[in-house]
Chains A and B, each alone.
Chain A
Amino acid sequence: MDNLHLLWGGVQTLATHPTAILLSIFGVAAGIVIGALPGLTATMGVAILLPFTFSMDPVSGLLMISGVFFGGIYGGSIPAILLRIPGTPAAAATAIDGYALAQKGQAGLALGVATISSFIGGTLSVLILIFLAPILAGFALKFSASETFALAVFGLSIIASISGDSLVKGLIAGFAGLLVASIGLDPMGGFPRFTAGYTELFTVPFIPVMIGLFAAAEVFKSMEEGELRARAMAQIGRLLPSWPQLRGLTGTLLRSSGLGAFIGAIPGAGADIAAYVSYNEARRFSRTPENFGKGEIAAISACEAGGNACTGGALMTMMTLGIPGDAVTAVMMGALVVQGLQPGPLLFTDHAELVFTLLAGMLFCYLVLLALGLGSLRFIGRVLMMPRSVLMPLVLLLCVVGAYAINNSVFDIGIMLAAGVVGYFMQRWGFPASPVVLALIMGPMAEASFRRALSLSNGSYDFLWTRPITVALLALAAVTLLLPLLRRRKGGGPGGTPEALPATAAGKE
Chain B
Amino acid sequence: MELTHRSKLKLLAGLGAAAILPAGPALAQGYPRRPVELIVPFAPGGGTDLVARAFADAAKAHLERGIGVVNRTGGGGAVGLSEIMAARPDGYKIGLGTVELAMLPHMGLVRFSADDFLPVARLNAEPSAVTVKADAPWKTLGEYLEHAKANPGKIRVGNSGTGAIWHLATEALADKLGLRFNNIPYEGAAPAVTALLGGHIEAVAVSPAEVSAQVQAGQMRILGVMAEQRLEAFPDVPTFRESGTDLAIGTWRGIFVPKRTPAEVVETLRQVARRTAEEQAFRDTLKKLNLTWAYLDGPQFAEQVKAEDATFKALMTRIGLAR
Chain A: residues with CB nearer than 8 A to chain B?
Answer: 43-44, 46-48, 50-51, 54, 140-145, 185, 187-190, 192, 199-200, 202-203, 205, 267-268, 321-325, 327-328, 330-331, 334, 337-338, 342-346, 407-409, 448, 452, 455-456, 458
Q: Which B residues lie within 8 Å of A327 (CB)? A: 43, 45
Contact B79 A200 (CB under 8 A): yes
Knowing A47-B45, A50-B45, A409-B72, the reply to whether A342 touches B187 (Cβ < 8 A) is no
B191: CB under 8 A from chain A? yes
Interface centre among B44, B78, B186, B214 (most CB of A within 10 A): B44
Give which listed residue, A190, A344, A455, contacts B182 with CB less than 8 A. A455
Q: Is B198 an interface residue (CB 8 A)?
A: yes
Shortest beta-carbon distance from B105 to chain A in Å: 12
Q: Which of B43, B76, B193 contacts A202 (CB 8 A)?
A: B76
For B165-190 the 0/1 string (1 means CB < 8 A from A) is 00000000000000000111111001
> In the complex where A203-B75, A268-B191 touch, is A145 in contact with B185 (Cβ < 8 A)?
no
With A334-B50, A338-B288, A409-B72 in contact, do A267 and B190 touch (Cβ < 8 Å)? yes
Query: At the interface, yes or no: B309 with Cβ under 8 Å from chain A?
Result: no
In the bound complex, how far is the Cα of B110 from the Cα of A192, in angstroms? 11
Nearest chain A residue, comparing its CB with the CB of B57: A51
Q: How far is the CA of A173 from the CA of B201 in the complex (A)?
A: 37
Apart from A46-B45, A202-B75: 16 A-B pairs, beta carbons within 8 A: A50-B53, A140-B198, A141-B199, A190-B109, A199-B110, A268-B187, A327-B45, A334-B50, A337-B288, A338-B288, A345-B219, A346-B216, A407-B71, A408-B71, A409-B79, A455-B182
A-chain residues with CB within 8 Å of residue B46 when the two chains form the complex: 330
Stretch from B115-123, B156-164, B241-249, B258-266 that touches the partner: B156-164
Check A346/B217 contact, CB under 8 A, given A190-B162, A202-B76, A323-B194: yes
Contacts of B289 in A (CB 8 A): 334, 337-338
Q: Which of A43, A54, A200, A408 contacts B288 (CB 8 A)?
A: A54
- Residue pair B70, A452 in contact (C-beta under 8 Å): no
Tell whether B145 is near chain A: CB-to-CB under 8 Å: no
Asked if B213 and A322 sit within 8 Å, CB to CB, the answer is yes
Q: How many A-B residue pairs have CB under 8 A?
A: 137
How many chain-B residues does the 8 Å CB contact rule pick out? 54
Is the beta-carbon distance between B75 and A323 smaller than 8 angstroms? no
B49 CB-CB contact with A under 8 Å = yes
Bound-complex Cα distance A139 to B190 (A): 16
B161 to chain A: closest residue by CB: A190
Known A-B contacts A199-B74, A342-B213, A344-B216; A407 and B198 likewise in contact (beta carbons under 8 Å): no
> Is there an interface contact between A141 and B74, defined as CB atoms closer than 8 Å?
no
Nearest A residue (CB) for B216:
A342
Sample (28) of A-B pairs whose CB atoms are under 8 Å apart = A47-B49, A48-B44, A51-B57, A54-B285, A141-B197, A188-B162, A189-B162, A199-B74, A199-B109, A202-B79, A203-B74, A322-B213, A323-B193, A325-B190, A327-B45, A331-B45, A334-B50, A344-B214, A344-B216, A344-B217, A346-B217, A407-B71, A408-B71, A408-B72, A455-B156, A455-B183, A456-B156, A456-B184
Q: Is the CB of A44 within 8 A of B197?
A: no
Chain B neighbourhood of A46, CB < 8 A: 45
Interface string of B274-289 (1 = CB under 8 A from A): 0000000000010011
Whether B45 contacts A144 by the Cβ 8 Å rule is no
* B-side contacts of A192, CB under 8 Å: 109
Q: Kindly list chain A residues whose C-beta atoms are within 8 Å of the C-beta of B198.
A: 140-144
Q: Does B294 contact A (CB under 8 A)?
A: no
Q: When the two chains form the complex, which single residue of B53, B185, B217, B321 contacts A322, counting CB atoms closer than 8 Å?
A: B217
Q: Is B213 within 8 A of A344, CB to CB?
A: yes
- Please determine whether A202 and B78 come into contact, CB atoms closer than 8 angstroms: yes
Contact of A456 with B71 in the complex, beta carbons under 8 Å: no
Are B190 and A43 neighbours in the complex by a CB distance under 8 Å? no
Residue of B with least CB distance to A44: B44
Asked whether any CB of chain A lies closer than 8 Å to the CB of B271, the reply is no
Q: Within 8 Å of chain A (Cβ to Cβ): is B140? A: no
Q: Does B229 contact A (CB under 8 A)?
A: no
Contacts of B57 on A, CB cut-off 8 Å?
Answer: 51
Q: Bound complex: CA of A189 vs CA of B163, how far in Å?
A: 8
Q: Which of A143, A187, A192, A344 has the most CB of B within 10 A?
A: A344
A322 to B190 CA separation, bound complex (whole angstroms): 9
Shortest CB-to-CB span from A123 to chain B, Å, is 26
Asked if A323 contacts B190 (CB within 8 A), the reply is yes
Q: Which B residues from 24 to 81 make CB contacts under 8 A with A?
A: 43-46, 49-50, 53-54, 57, 70-76, 78-79
Q: Given that A51-B53, A144-B200, A330-B45 are known contacts, is A452 also in contact with B290, CB under 8 Å in the complex?
A: no
CA distance A268 to B193 in the complex (A): 12
Q: Which 4 A-B pairs have the closest CB atoms?
A: A202-B75, A322-B213, A47-B44, A141-B198
**A282 vs B204: C-alpha distance in the bound complex, in angstroms?**
40
Q: CB-nearest residue of chain B relative to A451?
A: B185
Which A residues are CB-close (under 8 A) to B75? 185, 199-200, 202-203
Question: Which residues on A sit within 8 Å (CB–CB) of B200?
Answer: 144-145, 456
A192 CA to B74 CA, complexed, in Å: 13
The distance in angstroms between the C-alpha atoms of A44 and B69, with both chains bound, is: 12
User: In the docked arrangement, what's the CA distance between A409 and B79, Å?
Assistant: 10
Q: B82 near A: Cβ within 8 Å?
A: yes
Look across to chain A and name the residue whose beta carbon is closest to the beta carbon of B211: A322
Question: Could you tell me which residues of chain B, from 192 to 227, have a CB within 8 Å of some CB in chain A?
Answer: 193-195, 197-201, 212-214, 216-217, 219
Given known A-B contacts A323-B197, A334-B50, A458-B182, A43 and B74 have beta carbons under 8 A apart? no
